[in-house]
Amino acid sequence: MSDQAEKLRKIVDNLKIPDHSEKDSSSSGAARVITITSGKGGVGKTNISVNLAIALSKMGLRVVILDVDFGLANIDIMLGLTTKYTLVDLLRGERNIFEVLTDGPNNVKFLSGGSGVEELLQIDRRQLGRFITSIGLLDKLYDVILIDTGAGLSRNVMSFVMAADEVLLVTTPEPTAITDAYALIKMISRRDRHKIIRVIVNKADSPKEANDILSKLTMVSERFLSFNLQKLGYILYDELVPKAVKQQKPFCLSYPKSYASQQVWELAENLLDNNDTANTNKNKGMKGFFNRLLNTFSGN
């Protein structure tokens, strides 16, 4: 499989992809691609992805979520949506980029991954060129692309993590979640010492508990990995969050005055205030993302 991935990567490198982006001169012309991941399941990663996307949209940004949790893709369930097409339909050339995007709440768009990775490694040069051109349109259409991955350290998860411009790592105060988060940080740091990782503590009982966890993770990462971890913020446990999940509605829309909603807004503001990828925009956006994605497969 690595030989096949390497061949595909070389095809991507040689493809002459037209520049569809005509953003203002101060922009790199590429969307900000952010992977949201976790060391273990059950930490609220997908819920944060959805609500963060809505908060960013309310701030005036154009946002799309790409759900690549191939085992337990559930953003559509969380939003009460029915997705007609997936990334696979785009890969096969059966649908265009506009047809595979599903309308979500508050102008957020949603794209289901389906079994996209497996399909990606099977397509030929012509299909790949058409796909990269199509997916590259997202750089013109959107400002931020949030990629919701599966949990853990599997090859698929790590491939999407390493391909993104930056990573949001979600953990909880649960000891196993913290341990798994650190294991993920360790693996990422070994592959790319300059990767931007921002940590979110979810379901904390108090600001002190959340800040203690953030401080400990940043300290051990610097001390034992010589890796600079960044604190993004936290969301305290809020009983309105599971209530909104049962209603299949984002909590920041169902309960906009809740503590969780206010803290998601703070996370969104912190994310906008900490956009330090400007000096590394040579291979940004979705074309750059899929370039790196194929690179990680060929390197495994």
In this structure, are residues 160 and 48 in contact, taking their beta carbons and an 8 Å threshold?
A: no
**What does the alpha-carbon distance between residue 29 and residue 259 come to, in Å, rounded to a whole number?**
35
Please give the average per-residue pLDDT across 30-35, as a whole number: 93
Q: Evaluate if residue 32 carries a pLDDT over 90.
A: yes
Residue 90 vs residue 179, higher pLDDT: 179
Of 28-37, 62-71, 291-300, where does mean pLDDT reach its minimum? 291-300
* Chain centroid, CA 179 distance in Å: 21
Q: Evaluate if residue 227 carries a pLDDT over 90.
A: yes
Examine residue 252 and state whether it is found in any structural domain, yes or no: yes
pLDDT at 184: 96
pLDDT band at 269 (very low <50, low <70, confident <90, very high): very high
Of 2-16, 87-101, 234-248, 284-298, where does mean pLDDT reach its minimum? 2-16
For residue 253, the 8-state DSSP code is H
Of 108-112, 173-177, 225-229, where does mean pLDDT reach its minimum? 108-112
Examine residue 192 and state whether it is found in any structural domain, yes or no: yes
Q: Evaluate if residue 143 carries a pLDDT over 90.
A: yes
pLDDT at 155: 81
Examine residue 300 and state whether it is found in any structural domain, yes or no: no
Q: Evaluate if residue 245 carries a pLDDT over 80.
A: yes
Examine residue 24 and state whether it is found in any structural domain, yes or no: no
pLDDT at 299: 57
Residue 279 in 3-state DSSP?
Answer: helix
**What does the alpha-carbon distance between residue 173 and residue 199 come to, in Å, rounded to a whole number?**
12
3-state secondary structure 116-180: HHHHHCCCCHHHHHHHHHHHHCHHHHCCEEEEEEEECCCHHHHHHHHHCCEEEEEECCCHHHHHH
Residue 297 vs residue 156, higher pLDDT: 156
Examine residue 224 and state whether it is found in any structural domain, yes or no: yes
Q: What percent of the chain has pLDDT over 70?
A: 81
Please give the average per-residue pLDDT across 294-300, as a whole number: 63
Work out how many domains the chain is built from and give that number: 1
Summary mean pLDDT of the chain: 84
- pLDDT, tens digit, 9 for 90 and up, residues 115-138: 656 666 666 767 777 888 888 899
Question: What radius of gyration do the chain's Cα atoms show?
Answer: 18
Examine residue 25 and state whether it is found in any structural domain, yes or no: no
Please give the average per-residue pLDDT across 244-249, as a whole number: 92
In this structure, are residues 69 and 76 in contact, taking their beta carbons and an 8 Å threshold?
A: no
pLDDT band at 148 (very low <50, low <70, confident <90, very high): very high
Q: Which domain holds residue 290?
A: 2-18+30-274+281-294
Examine residue 93 and state whether it is found in any structural domain, yes or no: yes
pLDDT at 20: 36
Question: Given the structure tokens 């599971």, which residue do they identify?
Answer: 242
**Which CATH number fits the domain that encloses residue 95?**
3.40.50.300
Examine residue 131 and state whether it is found in any structural domain, yes or no: yes
In this structure, are residues 241 and 247 in contact, taking their beta carbons and an 8 Å threshold?
A: no
Residues 6+ apart with CB under 8 A from 239: none
